[in-house]
Amino acid sequence: MYQLLRFRDDYRIFANDLSIISRIGKHLSEVLIELNLKLNSSKTFVSNDLISSAFKSDKLDWNAYKQTIDKEIIDKKNSMHQKQLLLIYSFAEKYPNSGSIMEALNKHYEKILKFDKQPQDIEQCISIVVEIAIKNPKVYAICSAIIGKYLGLIKSTKKAEQIANKVYKRISEQPNANYVEIWLYRAIFKVLPNKIDNFKSSLELYGETKNIWDSSWVNSGSNLYNVLQNSKIIDDEIKDAVEKYIDPKEINLFVY
């Protein structure tokens, strides 16, 4: 006798006899092979520890990290910005692209949104966030928001623009960088309005220019062709009305 529980794409099979679990695993493998599929060996395991096996390893470890990340960030002389970001970076190295990283970065962002003073270690903080983003596509949006806020805290606009250039260069070196470039553009276009011309790919994808897609195959006399040629993706009125810094709710619309 056994019991099967499912949550989204996660399954747990419970039984009092290990041989039953073994037979079920064997049967599942045989069925999946017929469908040209197979069990993911890295995510399939047998355990007799009901507590530890009920949680993903990143969730268990997260509790230890959480104690420090939950601490308030105090004034700029005794800043914990870099310490907290290094802790998140360390966790991300161990559990890349996990939901716990998203949770940690969201909390960090909510804290720094309240700040109006520049931390002394702001360049180091931005560098850490960029590296987290590069290695964890799931957090592109929240990392871009954090970068935008930090850039907005820098007193010197010239200095902020120089750092923005370095960020863009580092990001653009990565494969398939367009998606994160769009978020970076969203994060800084009101913080550093004179610097958005550097984000060429983002500008194109954001609808600042026309003819984003190759529409040469469409009949030039058709309504579809005219729409593709003359329409912009972004509504300028809505774009002009957005806040300087990204609202956390805007980021959560795209969480997967």
pLDDT digits (tens, 9 = 90+) for 42-57: 788 888 777 667 666 7
* 140 contacts 171 by C-beta, under 8 angstroms: no
Euclidean distance between CA atoms 116 and 141, whole angstroms: 22
d(CA 246, CA 256): 18
pLDDT recorded at residue 143:
96
Q: Is the pLDDT of residue 163 over 60?
A: yes
Per-residue pLDDT at 76? 45
pLDDT of res. 1: 83
pTM confidence score? 0.70
Show Cβ contacts of residue 158 under 8 Å, excluding neighbours closer than 6 positions.
none
Which of 105-109, 200-204, 206-210: highest mean pLDDT? 105-109
**119-133, 171-185, 198-212: which is most confident:** 119-133
pLDDT at position 212 over 80: no
> Span 143-168, mean pLDDT?
93
Query: Mean of the pLDDT values across residues 13-32?
Result: 88
* pLDDT of 193 higher than 90: no
Spatial distance between the Cα atoms of 48 and 4, rounded to a whole number of angstroms: 16
pLDDT at 66: 67
The helix/strand/coil state of 243 is coil
Q: Average pLDDT of 126-142?
A: 93
CA–CA dist 256, 251 (Å, integer):
11
Q: How far apart are CA 132 and CA 255, in angstroms?
A: 16
